[in-house]
Chains A and B, each alone.
Chain A
Amino acid sequence: MFGYYFTLGLRSLRRNRALTALMVLTLAVGVAASISTLTILHAMSGDPIPEKSRRLLVPHLDNGQVDGWAPGEKPDDVQMTYQDAVNLLKSGQGERRTVLFGTEMPLEPPRKDMPAFSSAGMAPTRDFFAMFNVRFLHGQPWTEADDARGADVVVLGRAMAEKLFGDANPVGRQIRLMNVPFTVAGVVDYWNPRPRYYKLIGGDTFGGADDFYIPFASAIRHEAGINGGMNCTTKREPGFAGLLASECTWLQFWFETRSSADRADLQSWLDRYAGEQRKLGRLKRNVPTHLYDVMEWMEELKIVGNDNKLSVWLAFGFLALCLVNTIGLLLAKFSVRASEIGVRRALGASRREIFSQFLIETGVIGLAGGLLGLALSFGALALIGMQSTEVAAMARMDWEMLGMTFVLSVAAALLAGLLPTWRACQVTPAIQLKSQ
């Protein structure tokens, strides 16, 4: 019967054309508004690395001042000092670990026809590439020995490698960074997770790919320019050495554990570490240490802004309005078919049959609304994406959202159809037949 009712529903689309068109359009507009805002929220808040997001952990030690601080207050900053980062790197805790900071420096291309330019990259340790599943196009990460001695080696992002060397494999060639020659160790294939969850503080959260990666120790040795946030609560000595010895927080640390169950071990190790540091007169606030996995970290740093949530809420409010409107239109459409229902009931159709027939008919309207809504959503997302390249990267529909469009549309239509369909079932055949 489903197939037959479905065909009837399709045919019924042609009846009361103006009314049907209005219904489909209303549904489509409501669905498009909801889906386009939801797509952006989905892209912003989705799990960027589902296979290991629970095993990648950010440690936090609160090293703020005790003066003027009340227990329970939020920490001034969730980044890390150089001394803690170095200690944690040496700790051997977790399966892998890395520290990183954003850096910006002059880059002199090997080609003489290309002028020097300012270039932005990351200064992590070797484990970074394995931890965040970074795929290599050419070459490989630098070695642990490179990390240890702060070698002048560089891994290029694919776009930067192509800009500097064209399609050739640049491994082994040299570029000048900060007036120093660096040897290319590898090229990372296109890799630009958004949000850039591995470095969310003091940078373009939804920005483009990194131009390059150099060993953390090398960046420190050359006193590379820091591109990101820094928080200093105490006075520090001037110069880069002063920064390294200070309690300023400016580094991002990541642990990777073998399994998510190892988190408790890491937590207790971190507590012990904080205890030792307290004995040395540091970490005076004496608050518990924290570990955040990827999703907790994104939540903590409020990556999804209130404006995004507001848009989604209002869009769904709008969808609710469209639903109420559709209920009215469906009531109108079904009310003129009372005599048809009367005949069917008189010929033996049960209320159940009538109910499924009309509900399937509204489902067909929902499908039509979904199709049009999908087209409108693409249009809306294209419009939203015109703001900037960062937003355009967010405003992309994936299969999940595509399916969601139809589910939402059909569900909305069925919900709207419940009351009119129930009304249609209440038609008494005798009265209808009498008036014919």
Chain B
Amino acid sequence: MEIRPILSALLRNKTGPILVAMQVALSLAILANALYIVNERRAVIARPSGLADEHSTFYVRARNLDTDGHEQRRATFKHEADLLRAVPGVASVAQVSQMPLSQSGWNTSITVDQRQERPSTSASMYLSADSIVHTFGLRLVEGRDFLPAERVELDRKDQAEPPPQIILTRALAEKLWPGVSAIGKSVYFGKQEVARAPQVIGVVEHLQTQSAQIDETGEFSIVMPLQQYGDSSTMFAVRTEPGQRDRVMKEAESVLRKSSATPMILEMRTVDQDRKDRYRGDVALQWMLVTVSLLMLLITCCGIVGMASLWVTQRRKQIGVRRALGARKIDILRYFIVENVMITSGGVFGGVALGLALNQLLVSKLEMARLPAGYLAGGALLFWLIGVIAAYGPAWKAASISPATATRSV
């Protein structure tokens, strides 16, 4: 193999090769980290919200400009829910306190033992006297949904006691009681004295919080069969038959407006809109990283091709002499490709080190996750391939130099 002469030729003129290797190293380091972040964000966006059919789910916030008392308002909202249920194409309706991914709602701290000093964790609270298990289409993995008799409606002016039964998500159950069934276990909200601690009667597979945080707490939700009435506004979650959402939304709006003698404010949003808003920043970051990565690959390719072409032009005479002394085309081709692979290899090793260093910086300064080795290995392979492909053109040009013309002026 002719590695030794190639190496000593490289060492005689270091600047160009170092520049190419630096480009490869920089691109590899940034590319591996960028692709990892892109994939990480993709996984974050792909997490299930728990809703069985997000595309068919929307919600209405209805506010009546009335001066009614609490009981009257309670009756109005019951009536409005019935009107919504009667709209053709509606599969399920529930009065709810908040929606997943909507970025607005309430959290509570949870303890599993009243004597413990610190709360176990904080969880998002879904309150509803209807079945949100049914309306959201949540999948129960253990236990059962609330019975009608367990559902409580409370006047807002009264002190709200936690209901005796609650449902929570599997992620939260696993956090509070690792490895054991949560059914029948008691939880406490804060340090307040309660007559009866709520008991877990059901566990659902998924239900994201209103913020859908990227860590495990994004799945820490509890459902309570409790509703407080008296406010002038309420929220209804509606699941429609597949494909009927947009029509149902229009009809629901007109039905609700017609039902009220006083002016009414209706705000309607789909879960799809909320999802888009929630992940807008992540999607934008992905686009930015992919664009920069592609540009980087392009520029690095240009750099390799440019430098290789320059070396071929500079060494025309030497190539001519080698050809005249008996070197075949394949020898010249091989020389340039091996030379480039050597340079790229130097860059790849530098890039792996630089990529790890960059990741370390991202971990310590920007709270990013640690880069799996696979990304660097994949990136290294990619750049070796690019090195060979990019060098092939100039190397072929070098191999095609005819010895007669190249050595004419020697």
Contact = CB atoms under 8 A, between A and B. Distances in A.
Interface stretch (B139-147, B198-206, B360-368): B360-368
B232 to A, nearest CB: 8
Given A235-B192, A321-B296, A328 B19 contact: yes
Interface in A28-86: 29, 33, 37, 65, 67-68
Interface in A212-271: 233-235, 237-239
A26 B299 contact: yes
B40 to A, nearest CB: 12
A117 B265 contact: yes
B357 to A, nearest CB: 12
Contacts of A108: 65, 263
Interface in A347-373: none
Given A108-B263, A117-B265, A239-B157, A68 B119 contact: yes
Interface string A266-284: 0000000000000000000
Contact of B16 (A118, A325, A328): A328
Contacts of A67: 117, 191
B37 A310 contact: yes
Contacts of B117: 67-68
Q: Which 6 A-B pairs have the closest CB atoms?
A: A68-B118, A306-B366, A116-B263, A68-B117, A321-B26, A328-B19
A318 B303 contact: no
B156 A239 contact: yes
A239 B230 CA distance: 11
Contacts of B281: 305, 307
B346 interface: no
A384 B284 contact: yes
B48 interface: no
Given A22-B306, A29-B295, A310 B285 contact: yes
Contact of A237 (B33, B159, B285, B358): B159
Contacts of B307: 328, 332
A310 B368 CA distance: 10
Contacts of A22: 302, 306
A309 interface: yes
Nearest to A423: B15
A309 B366 contact: yes
A321 B27 contact: yes
A106 B64 CA distance: 9
Given A67-B191, A106-B63, A237-B159, A318 B296 contact: yes
A238 B158 contact: yes
Contacts of A233: 190
Given A33-B295, A106-B265, A325-B303, A331 B156 contact: no
A387 B265 CA distance: 28
Interface of B: 15-16, 19-20, 22-23, 26-27, 29-30, 33-34, 37, 63, 65, 67, 116-119, 156-160, 190-192, 232, 263-265, 267, 280-282, 284-285, 288-289, 292, 295-296, 299-300, 302-303, 306-307, 310, 314, 358, 362, 365-368
B306 A314 contact: no
Interface string A85-118: 0000000000000000000001010000001111
Of B263, B281, B299, B307, most A-chain CB atoms within 10 Å? B299
Interface string A312-339: 0111011011101101110110010000
Contacts of B292: 33, 314-315, 318
Query: What interface size band does chain A fall in?
Result: 35 or more
Nearest to A305: B281
Interface of A: 19, 22, 26, 29, 33, 37, 65, 67-68, 106, 108, 115-118, 179, 233-235, 237-239, 305-307, 309-311, 313-315, 317-318, 320-322, 324-325, 327-329, 331-332, 335, 384, 387-388, 391, 419, 423
Contacts of B116: 68
Contacts of A234: 190
Given A314-B289, A314-B292, A29 B299 contact: yes
Given A115-B263, A238-B160, A325 B15 contact: no
B19 A118 contact: no
A321 B191 CA distance: 56
B80 to A, nearest CB: 16
Nearest to A306: B366
B300 A321 contact: yes
B284 A118 contact: no
A116 B157 contact: no
A16 to B, nearest CB: 11
A328 B27 CA distance: 15
B399 to A, nearest CB: 21
26 contacts: A33-B295, A65-B191, A67-B117, A68-B118, A179-B67, A238-B160, A306-B366, A306-B368, A307-B285, A309-B366, A310-B37, A310-B285, A310-B366, A311-B288, A313-B362, A313-B366, A314-B34, A314-B288, A315-B292, A317-B30, A318-B30, A321-B26, A321-B299, A328-B303, A328-B306, A328-B307
A174 B269 CA distance: 31
A310 to B, nearest CB: 6
A54 to B, nearest CB: 27
Contacts of A238: 156-160
A118 B265 contact: yes
A410 B281 CA distance: 32
Given A29-B299, A235-B190, A238-B156, A328 B20 contact: yes
Contacts of A384: 284, 288
Contacts of A235: 190, 192
Contacts of A106: 63, 65, 232, 263, 265
Nearest to B64: A106
A332 B314 CA distance: 10
A234 B358 CA distance: 44
B362 A325 contact: no
A96 to B, nearest CB: 32
Contacts of A29: 295, 299
Contacts of B23: 321, 324-325, 328
Contacts of A311: 285, 288
A125 to B, nearest CB: 26
Contacts of B300: 321, 325
Nearest to B23: A324
B237 to A, nearest CB: 19
Contacts of A117: 265
Of A29, A106, A384, A391, most B-chain CB atoms within 10 Å? A106
Nearest to A307: B285
Of B119, B282, B284, B362, most A-chain CB atoms within 10 Å? B284
Nearest to B298: A29
A285 B221 CA distance: 30
B65 A320 contact: no
A324 B302 CA distance: 12
Contacts of B26: 317, 320-321, 324
Nearest to B277: A388
A172 B292 CA distance: 56
